[in-house]
Amino acid sequence: MFSFRRLDSVTLRWPREARPSKGARGPSFEARRKGGEHLRMTLWVWLGLMASTSIAIAAELGHFGYGKSASPAEIAGWDIDVRGDDGAGLPAGKGSVNQGAEVYADQCAVCHGAFGEGEGRFPKLVGGIGTLKHDRPELTVGSYWPFAPTLWDYINRAMPMPAPHTLSADDVYALTAYILHLNDIVSSDFVADRDSLPKVKMPNRDSFVWIDPRPDTMAKPCMTACAEPNDVKIMSTAEGRNLTPRTTGPLDTMQPK
Amino acid sequence: MRSEFWRDTPVVSKLARPRNPLLGRRSFLGLSAALTGGLALGAKPGRTETPIASPPADAPWSQSIGPGVVDRPYGRPADTEAGVIRRNVPWLTAGTESSISFSPLQDLHGIITPNGLFFERYHAGRPGVDPDRHRLMIHGLVERPLLLTMKDIVRFPSVSRIHFIECPANGGMEWRAAQLNSLQFNHGMIGCAEWTGVKLSTLLEEVGVKKQARWVMVEGADGAHMNRSLPLDKCLDDCLVVYAQNGEALRPEQGYPLRLVVPGWEGNVSIKWLRRIKLGDRPWYSREETSKYTDLMPDGTSRGFTWLIDAKSVITFPCPEKPLGGPGLYEIRGLAWSGNGKVTQVDVSADGGVNWQRAQLHDPVLSKALTRFTLPWRWDGKPALLESRVIDETGYVQPTITQLRKQRGSNSVYHNNSIQTWQVKPDGSVFDVQLS
């Protein structure tokens, strides 16, 4: 069976404005995968009619040919994702807890606090283990995140906030090791790399349900006398709570006036 | 007809007061006709108008010449509408770069959100993307990895669809109790627009999805490189890769030059500044779908991949920002929507959910889009508890906050689609409350 790439390079060398477009509904890729014979025949018809630049023939092919193939080098530059549960995509490199402490002090402590306690409203990275059933649970890397490789992935793609995706792989490994250690999940001699990180068992790993159980309420569309009027009571009100910014005039900074 | 005119008590008092003050959706036409007649016979002009502009005097703008065409080559709202803006809650987030703003629903009409008022959600601020240098890469488990320029993308067959996008944290501050006395801040993380672009299925057919592919990772070009996993089935069903919103190029706030639109699902999966689509056999469990956008239950477990926006509705008039001006006839107005398809019914209660009356739905009623509803209401000046309740085409009925808490406790942050109660006080002021 012809691959689309070869077909493209052999035949589609028309001026761009003359290149074919396709009808709204071409064959599905499933159908095309099974349709090698059909495709070969289509190609002969195509070659026979090339001079007429028939739009109908292009529609048969189910292929527009716009853009260019992404090269391995181009893909490598952007292919940054690391899969959380098994670490697929983790690059070469490594980093220790001690190295991480240095990078952390330079790059992270200003927002996340010297020991991951969080400055102001910036996220806490540490603590809260065992609080998830509490009235005020504390959700941190240690108490909530299910997968250690996700931490590597997030630091790498999004941190530090003013200059995201600028740290070396080694530095990201070191930071990951340090933050895991701050949460007492790994020992002080832990070295993070593509082999060790997926083996780290996060405390909350098994507490996630990945299939949505909704709808989980079964309200009935009652129309009259749906409740005892005397039972309808106001349990809470936003009145007088002083949490609401104003909704007229200029933006409200909510600084003391 | 504007609602202020109905406050004209001499006219309204002539009308028979029905037993049930919620007047029913078919009774309003007759009332409007009666009102129009009354006004024509000599109702006084609105109190707020400057006398010099009212009849018999001619207004200053009627006796002068205004600026010419292209005085404002790109138009903007009237100066007197300057307060109709997106707003934020400063105490909610550490800064504005990873934060959210709220759309002023109290001042909007219809189902389409103006582009400049569509709510914003950033994870690393608003990137300034150069469309000439922007690329969309599609790779992973595909036959033919592809790199597309914006010019390439615009050449593909185009579609336009009207859909809402709602952040699942909309109403998230109200899980424990009524906190924010505002329609804008309790419900403004939603917008609805006509999106134009190419079907994601078209692009996936172009690259040839390999047999073992089941999941799709989508990633933005912002500093957060924001990424989420989506099941392949949804991507082939109705997802769009769009470059236009309400007839013009996307605004930078909404992902210029390219974003994903995942109809009916929580807003954060509609990745903005879309730069990469990767196919795989399993989900990625990114930070945004493990530590965020998961729902913590009272037993300590968490729900992940809760993408769907369940049916929800809210009364947009009256509301805390738009109180009532005195007893009389009003049109209750609101919006309803469902991530599961079309809205089929909206009911309104003025007594905190004891009795309900069916509201009128207004065309167009579109799948996974905002839908307008109205119901005439004669307010007698007594305390009232206004609520709306939507039913969608799957038969799902919007729950109360009590019903939701019974299932999910109050720490789940996301997906609060409960019935909103507005308390109307005798002076016409309106407050956000929660009922037993």
d(CA A161, CA B224): 8
Task: Report the helix count and the strand count for chain B, using DSSP H and E.
Answer: 7, 23
CB contact under 8 A, A226 and B180: no
Asked whether residue A182 is assigned to any structural domain, the reply reads: yes
Asked whether residue A240 is assigned to any structural domain, the reply reads: no
Q: Which of B301, B322, B353 is the last residue of a domain?
A: B301
d(CA B185, CA B190): 11
Asked whether residue A244 is assigned to any structural domain, the reply reads: no
B124 and B261 both lie in a single domain: yes
Q: How many domains does chain A have?
A: 2
A83 and A199 both lie in a single domain: yes
B154 and B259 both lie in a single domain: yes
CB contact under 8 A, A232 and B385: yes
A90 and A54 both lie in a single domain: no
Asked whether residue A162 is assigned to any structural domain, the reply reads: yes
CA distance B63 to chain A (A): 30
Cα distances (Å, whole numbers) of residue A115 to A160, A181, B177: 16, 11, 33
Model confidence at A229: pLDDT above 60: yes
> Which CATH number do you get for residue B285?
3.90.420.10
B198 and B244 both lie in a single domain: yes
E runs forming strands in chain A: 68-69, 94-96, 191-193, 208-209, 234-237
Contacts of B104 in chain A (CB under 8 A): 247
Q: How far is CA B268 from the centre of its chain?
A: 14
Q: How confident is the model at residue B27 (pLDDT cuts 50, 70, 90)?
A: low
Contacts of A235 in chain B (CB under 8 A): 177, 433-436
pLDDT at B18: 40
A21 and A96 both lie in a single domain: no
Is A157 within 8 Å of A80 (Cβ atoms)? yes
A191 and A87 both lie in a single domain: yes
- In 3D space, the residue among B212, B158, B175, B428 whose CA is nearest the CA of residue B320 turns out to be B428
d(CA A160, CA A178): 15
A86 and A191 both lie in a single domain: yes
CA nearest to A3 within chain B: B143
Q: How confident is the model at residue B293 (pLDDT cuts 50, 70, 90)?
A: very high
Chain B 114-173, CB below 8 Å of chain A: which residues?
123-124, 137-139, 143-149, 152-153, 155-157
pLDDT digits (tens, 9 = 90+) for B199-258: 999 999 999 999 999 999 999 999 999 999 999 999 999 999 999 999 999 999 999 999
A18 and A114 both lie in a single domain: no
B185 and B254 both lie in a single domain: yes
Q: Which residues contact B370 (CB under 8 A, 6 or more apart)?
A: B111, B164, B190, B192, B335, B336, B337
Please classify residue B165 by burial: count the beta carbons closer than 10 Å to its beta carbon, then call 0-12 exposed, 13-18 middle and 19+ buried. buried
d(CA B241, CA A20): 21
Greater confidence (B52 vs B217) lies with B217
B271 and B323 both lie in a single domain: no
CB contact under 8 A, A234 and B433: yes
| Residue located via tokens 């029905």 | B18
CB contact under 8 A, A214 and B306: yes
Task: Count CB-CB contacts under 10 A for residue A206.
Answer: 9
Chain B 382-421, CB below 8 Å of chain A: which residues?
385, 389, 391, 396-400, 403-404, 407-408, 411, 415
Is A204 within 8 Å of A146 (Cβ atoms)? yes
d(CA B309, CA B56): 53
Which of B145, B351, B397 is facing A220, going by the closest CB pair? B397
Asked whether residue B42 is assigned to any structural domain, the reply reads: no
Q: Which of B274, B301, B328 is the last residue of a domain?
A: B301
Q: Residue A16: which domain range? A: 4-61
Asked whether residue B425 is assigned to any structural domain, the reply reads: yes
B139 and B278 both lie in a single domain: yes
Best of B225, B236, B344 to disrupt the A interface (most A CBs within 10 Å) is: B225
Asked whether residue B10 is assigned to any structural domain, the reply reads: no
Give the ipTM of the model, two decimals please. 0.89
> Which CATH number do you get for residue A193?
1.10.760.10
Task: Count CB-CB contacts under 10 A for residue A191.
Answer: 17
A88 and A30 both lie in a single domain: no
d(CA B361, CA B228): 35
Model confidence at B71: pLDDT above 70: yes
Chain B 19-78, CB below 8 Å of chain A: which residues?
none
Q: Residue B141: which domain range? A: 99-301
B129 and B238 both lie in a single domain: yes
What is the average per-residue pLDDT within B324-335?
Answer: 98
B152 and B263 both lie in a single domain: yes
A89 and A173 both lie in a single domain: yes
Q: Which residues contact B176 (CB under 8 A, 6 or more apart)?
A: B410
Asked whether residue A247 is assigned to any structural domain, the reply reads: no
Please count the residue pairs, one from chain A and one from chain B, whose beta carbons lie less than 8 angstroms apart: 283
Residue B331 φ/ψ, nearest 5 degrees: -105, 115
pLDDT at B50: 56
Model confidence at A18: pLDDT above 50: no
CA distance B432 to chain A (A): 5
pLDDT at B134: 98
Asked whether residue B429 is assigned to any structural domain, the reply reads: yes
Q: How confident is the model at residue B34 (pLDDT cuts 50, 70, 90)?
A: very low
β-bridge mates for residue B374, sequence order: B333, B360
- In 3D space, the residue among A247, A198, A207 whose CA is nearest the CA of residue A87 turns out to be A198
Asked whether residue B354 is assigned to any structural domain, the reply reads: yes
CA nearest to B399 within chain A: A219
> Which CATH number do you get for residue B332?
2.60.40.650
Asked whether residue B70 is assigned to any structural domain, the reply reads: no
Half-sphere exposure of B192 (CA within 13 A, CB side): 24
Does residue B347 belong to the interface with chain A, where contact is any CB pair within 8 Å?
yes
What is the average per-residue pLDDT within B181-185?
Answer: 98
Per DSSP, B217 falls in state: E
Greater confidence (A31 vs B72) lies with B72
Asked whether residue A239 is assigned to any structural domain, the reply reads: no
Is B308 within 8 Å of A215 (Cβ atoms)? no
Task: Count CB-CB contacts under 10 A for residue B194.
Answer: 16
CA distance A171 to chain B (A): 18
Model confidence at B97: pLDDT above 70: yes
What is the average per-residue pLDDT within A170-189?
Answer: 98
Which of B179, B204, B287 is facing A238, going by the closest CB pair? B179
B296 and B345 both lie in a single domain: no
Asked whether residue A221 is assigned to any structural domain, the reply reads: no
A56 and A84 both lie in a single domain: no
Model confidence at B23: pLDDT above 60: yes
The angle formed by the CA atoms of residues A215, A218 and A221, to the nearest 5 degrees, is: 125
Q: How confident is the model at residue A11 (pLDDT cuts 50, 70, 90)?
A: very low
B418 and B371 both lie in a single domain: yes
End-to-end CA distance of chain B: 37
Please classify residue A136 by burial: count the beta carbons closer than 10 Å to its beta carbon, then call 0-12 exposed, 13-18 middle and 19+ buried. exposed
Q: How far is CA B387 from the centre of its chain?
A: 18
Cα distances (Å, whole numbers) of residue B392 to A212, A246, B167: 19, 34, 19
Give the 3-state secondary structure of residue B394: coil
Q: What is the mean pLDDT of chain B?
A: 91
**Percentage of chain B exceeding pLDDT 70:** 89
Copy the structure tokens of residue B344. Answer: 């089929």
Copy the structure tokens of residue A97. Answer: 């807890």
- In 3D space, the residue among A162, A187, A175 whose CA is nearest the CA of residue A104 turns out to be A175
Query: Residue B300: left if φ>0, alpha if ψ -120 to 50, beta else—which one?
Result: left
B103 and B230 both lie in a single domain: yes
Task: Kindly provide the b/e burial profile for residues A112-134, where b requires at least 16 CB atoms within 10 angstroms of the residue's own CB.
Answer: bbeebebeeebbbbbbbbebbee
pLDDT at A257: 55
CB contact under 8 A, B146 and A70: yes
A84 and A36 both lie in a single domain: no
CB contact under 8 A, B290 and A83: no
pTM confidence score: 0.86
pLDDT digits (tens, 9 = 90+) for B118-141: 999 999 999 999 999 999 999 999
d(CA A150, CA B2): 54
Is B311 within 8 Å of B390 (Cβ atoms)? yes
Q: How far is CA B15 from the centre of its chain?
A: 36
B176 and B227 both lie in a single domain: yes
Asked whether residue A49 is assigned to any structural domain, the reply reads: yes
Model confidence at B114: pLDDT above 50: yes
Q: How confident is the model at residue B176 (pLDDT cuts 50, 70, 90)?
A: very high
**Residues present in chain B in total:** 436
A18 and A129 both lie in a single domain: no
Which of B94, B148, B304 is facing A67, going by the closest CB pair? B148
A42 and A159 both lie in a single domain: no
Is A81 within 8 Å of A143 (Cβ atoms)? no
**Percentage of chain A exceeding pLDDT 90:** 73
| Residue located via tokens 């990945």 | A210
pLDDT at A39: 44
Asked whether residue B253 is assigned to any structural domain, the reply reads: yes
Asked whether residue B252 is assigned to any structural domain, the reply reads: yes
Q: Which residues contact B393 (CB under 8 A, 6 or more apart)?
A: B338, B340, B341, B342, B343, B344
CA distance B205 to chain A (A): 5
Paired sense of beta strands B99-100 and A234-237, if any: unpaired
Q: How many domains does chain B have?
A: 2
